[in-house]
Structure 1
């Protein structure tokens, strides 16, 4: 067996390894679920999944105001990416920018009344898609184990 064939065999074994396969399944499932959610939110509410994520963050507490930097960190977006997103959301009447009382250089973002209305509609759509494709396919015990395990993975990634 020549070196090229041996390297090809090694590469095939690596590409088909359980860790690569299992992680690939996780990514594919998450990506497809996010696509389904995004499609449903756009069709039913006129917003994409990323805008929905911003509204989730802004609606967690009554009268919530969050800096764009915090939003960028929460959503793993660049500062220019979050600025463009908030620009579009502000133009759509979903959010408002307000001056930060503690720092004149900083601007806070809060949900607009229309944003709260759209968010409540979007939560219902999101819940239907998640129920259908994330919850229903699993037995109750499997679902609990999965979500517990995802929580542990998230915790390990935050700490590491």
Structure 2
């Protein structure tokens, strides 16, 4: 164990125990635990991961919209190779298909299959049940409204600050 008389030990302990560090850590831990619950429920009940559901959300949001593999990578903040591997697994499972773009044959467009849309509808219900139980349920209606409003303000501030 290091010498506690070190001049910065007390300052480091204060910083590590600060309210801001604790509060932000609580947000991250809560979000991570929600993600884990959602992912486990989706895997158990639908056979897909939460990330696969995120792809299906993006593809099903506007029927007929052309979504490139590159757009998906950007929207989901995945690497190009990570997106390729994910889409390979989803294609093998019959959830999506890649087709060449009519405008640029070098560009792969991704679209949900009928099975992908059916799986997504089932997954959306599972997702909603978990969110209702662990995100909405523990709060009063007023607290929930305040929480989601505050998160919207934080998100908007971060988006504006990034460009």
Same fold at TM > 0.5: yes
Structure 1 residue 60 and structure 2 residue 66: aligned? no
Q: Deviations over 1:134-157 (max 9, x none)?
A: 001111111111111111111111
For residues 24 and 150 of structure 2, the distance between their equivalents in structure 1, rounded to whole angstroms, comes to 14
5+ unaligned residues in a row in structure 2: which ranges? none
Moved over 4 A (4+): none
TM-score, scaled relative to structure 1: 0.95
Out of 53-62 and 99-108, give the one that drifted further: 99-108
Distance 1:3 1:133, change over 3 A: closer
Identify which range, 34-43 or 97-106, moves more after superposition.
Answer: 97-106
Residue-pair matches, total: 159
CA shift, 1:64, in A, is: 3.0
Quote the residue 1:135 is aligned against: 136
After TM superposition, the structure 1 stretch with the greater mean CA deviation from structure 2, 79-88 or 67-76, is 67-76
Unpaired runs of at least 5, structure 1: none
Structure 2 match to 1:30:
31
TM (normalized to structure 2)?
0.94
The residue matched to 1:5 in structure 2 has which SS?
A: coil
Deviations 1:61-93 (A, max 9, x none): 112331111111111100000010001000100
Secondary structure (helix, strand or coil) at the match of 2:38 reads helix
CA distance in 2 between partners of 1:53 and 1:96 (Å): 16
Where 1:6 maps in the other structure, the secondary structure is: coil
